[in-house]
Each structure stands twice: as C-alpha cells, then as structure tokens.
Amino acid sequence: MTAIDEYINTIIGQGAHEAHTDGSATIEAHHLLLAIAAGRETATHQALTSAGLDHQAIRDALDREFEHSLNAAGVPLTTFDLPKPSSAATPPSQLGASAKLALERGFASVSRKKDLRPAHLLLGILQAQIGTVPRTLTLAGVDQADLTARVQRTLTGEDG
Amino acid sequence: MSGAENPVPQEPADALAAVAALRRLADRIEDAAVEQAMRAGWSWPQVAEALGVTRQAVHKKHAKRLIAAGVTLRRR
C-alpha cells in the first residue's frame, strides 16, 4: 500500500469515527474535513489553521450550520427534548454522496494517481460550492476561495 | 464573522439546506424516540405502526444499536 493509500484510509477511518459521534449512518464530506483537521499531515493542517480552522472550530461551525438551517424552516433545535439516543454499535462504513463527490473531485485534480497528495483530498472537499461544507465555512467566517487557493499553493510549492 | 446572520442569500440554497437539516433532525429524533419506546416495553410492531413503516424496516434500522446499548427487546 502506498503512503497516499494509507493516508486516504486513515482519513476515511477517522471520518467514520466522526460520523459515529455525529449519529450519522454515512460518512459525509464534513466528516472527512473534521478527520483532516484532526490529522497531523503538515500541509493540510497548516492551510486549515491559517484560516482559523481546527477540529473544534469546524465542529462548532457545523453545529451552527445545523441550527441555522433548521431555523430557516422555522424549527428550533430544542423542539424535542428527548434523551440522547445510544450510538450505533459500530461506526458507519458507507460513504455518503457528499464524501464520494469530494473524493472524486480530489482524485480528478491529478492525471496520475502517483501525483495524488493529502492536500488533494482537502481540495476535493473544498471544491464543493453547495452543501454543508461551504455553508459551514461561510458561517465560520472563512473565505472558501481564499482557503482553496492556499491549499492549491501548497501543492505547487509556492507556499511555505 | 461578517454576514453570519444571513450567510447564503439564495433562497433555494437555504430551503434545500433546511430539508437536509430536517432529515438529520428527524433521524436523530427517531433514534431517540424508538429507543425510549423500546426501553418502555413497546414491541417492534407497535413502534413500526406508530412510525408508519414496516416492522422489518424499523428492526433493520434500530435492532443492532439497541442490542449493543443493552436494551431488552420484546420479541413481539
């Protein structure tokens, strides 16, 4: 297994853990983003932290996005005060539609697989213009285009 | 944090995001409500009828989680 395969497996595995914590039956793009933020890979980590995004900041922004989107339908998050359900027995193994798209976009940014680097995965997630990730970034006050450009620069070696 | 109160002005984006969020909330409430009912001694057919789905569907979706959580489940 190549280093990039190992990295992808690690991120999907950590993403599954994030989805499990979230009570989600599938691993979505925002779970992969959380996984990347929790990881130690230098280029992606630096790009995210330079935009003020660490794991906790993303988690908090995701919570705000959820509440904000519910509010748009006139539903406050506190409508049902039921006890927190037990977690699923095991973390999910299925990738959701948003995660599949993010991976496809990441892979599509290189012509040969051997050129694939961890930052391409983050780039694939950041290429979404619609959905939970861009809405969350907006709510966190992050300029998505600027962050994407920053990640791109780490790939072309223009950024320190 | 500029524009945090109305970050996405396009109405369709907000409406579609609301649908996605409501589905997530519904799933979360379903997990909690089914667990509460099963802990209170409801049967699978009763829970299924209350949710308007088949017994097989509700069993498939929740049994593993509830067994792992140590909930005593009624067979019928």
Cβ distance A70 to B36 less than 8 Å, yes or no, reads no
For chain A, domains (ranges, CATH) are: 3-76+92-156 (1.10.1780.10)
Give A40-58 pLDDT, tens digit per residue.
899 999 999 999 999 999 9
pLDDT band at B11 (very low <50, low <70, confident <90, very high): confident
Per DSSP, B67 falls in state H
Cβ distance A23 to B13 less than 8 Å, yes or no, reads no
What ipTM was estimated for this complex?
0.87
Name the A residues in 25-54 with CB < 8 Å from any B CB: 25
Calculate the average pLDDT of chain A: 93
Looking at per-residue pLDDT, the higher value among B49 and A83 belongs to B49
Residues of chain B found within 8 Å of residue A128, distances taken between Cβ atoms: none
Residues of chain A found within 8 Å of residue B14, distances taken between Cβ atoms: 69, 72
Query: Percent of chain B at pLDDT above 70?
Result: 84
Nearest chain B residue to A80 by CA: give it: B29
pLDDT band at A87 (very low <50, low <70, confident <90, very high): very high
User: Touching check for B35 and chain A: CB below 8 Å?
Assistant: yes
Q: Nearest CB to A82: which of B20, B36, B68? A: B36
User: Touching check for A80 and chain B: CB below 8 Å?
Assistant: yes
pLDDT band at A143 (very low <50, low <70, confident <90, very high): very high
Cβ distance B65 to A66 less than 8 Å, yes or no, reads no
User: Touching check for A139 and chain B: CB below 8 Å?
Assistant: yes
Rounded distance between C-alpha atoms, residue A144 and residue A106, angstroms: 16
DSSP, residue by residue, chain A: --HHHHHHHHHHHHHHHHHHHHT-SSB-HHHHHHHHHHS--HHHHHHHHHTT--HHHHHHHHHHHHHHHHHHTT--TTS--PPPPPPPSS---PBPHHHHHHHHHHHHT-SSGGG--HHHHHHHHHT--SSHHHHHHHHTT--HHHHHHHHHHHHHT---
Query: Percent of chain A at pLDDT above 90?
Result: 86
pLDDT band at A1 (very low <50, low <70, confident <90, very high): confident
